[in-house]
Structure formats: C-alpha cells, structure tokens
Amino acid sequence: MTATARTVELLQLAAAAADGKGGEDLVALDVSGPLPLADVFFLITGRSERNVTAIADGVEDALLEQGVKALRREGRSEGRWVLIDFGDLVVHVFHEEDRMYYSLERLWKDCPVVPIVLPSMEPAELSD
C-alpha cells in the first residue's frame, strides 16, 4: 500500500504551515504498509515548548481551513510532543530533545519517506 493522493495533499499543506511557524527537520513517513489506520506520520521539530505549540496550532488551523478537522489531539498543555490525528495523516510535533529521545524515524526506518515540497523552495532547489 501507499499513501493516498489526498493524504499527500494534506501533508503538503501541513508542511507549509509547519515551515511558516518555524518547524524544522520535517520528515514524512509512509506508514500505510504496517499500519492499517494511517497513511503518513509527519514529524516536525520545534525549538521550545512555545514553538511546538505554535507549530501544532498552525498545522491544525491550516487543515481546518480546508475542512479537515482533527480527530484527536494530545500533549498540547506540555508542549513537548503534540500529536494531532487527522485520520490518514498523523502529525507529531516534538521538542528537539524529545524527538531525539523517542526517535520515531528509527522505529519506522523501514517505511518509505514521502517527499515534502515547501512553497518557499525555488524550482532550481528541487532539481538538485
């Protein structure tokens, strides 16, 4: 299985929102093979608790503008690891220390990476 086109579209919207709020180290993993309940895990790093919360809010707002509501949201009050479940897209916004500690990329290392194209990228950057 692979992630649906709609999930990849939502991922791109989420990535643009995360980038706009200062999100770093954006990584999307296609988990549709091992997980029947989700297509993509989107991992983002924030530099502080406040930044983690702002990134999570920005992603949720951007998807809500497209009519996509979060099914569940956890961790907002702590601002260390916010999980937002949109169904096929699950967004994980980590404080950098927590991202290193939990290392989801290592846990899901066999899953393919889904390319992320940010609006700020120039066409020349994409061909490199």
What domains appear along the chain, each with residue ranges and CATH number? 5-114 (3.30.460.10)
pLDDT of 89 above 80: yes
- Higher pLDDT pick, 127 / 18: 18
Distance CA 89, CA 61 (A): 15
d(CA 15, CA 58): 10
> What's the confidence (pLDDT) of residue 16?
97
Q: Where does the pLDDT of residue 121 fall: very low under 50, low under 70, confident under 90, or very high at 90 and above?
A: low
- 99 neighbors 105 (Cβ within 8 angstroms): no
In this predicted structure, what is the pLDDT of residue 115? 95
pTM of the model: 0.90
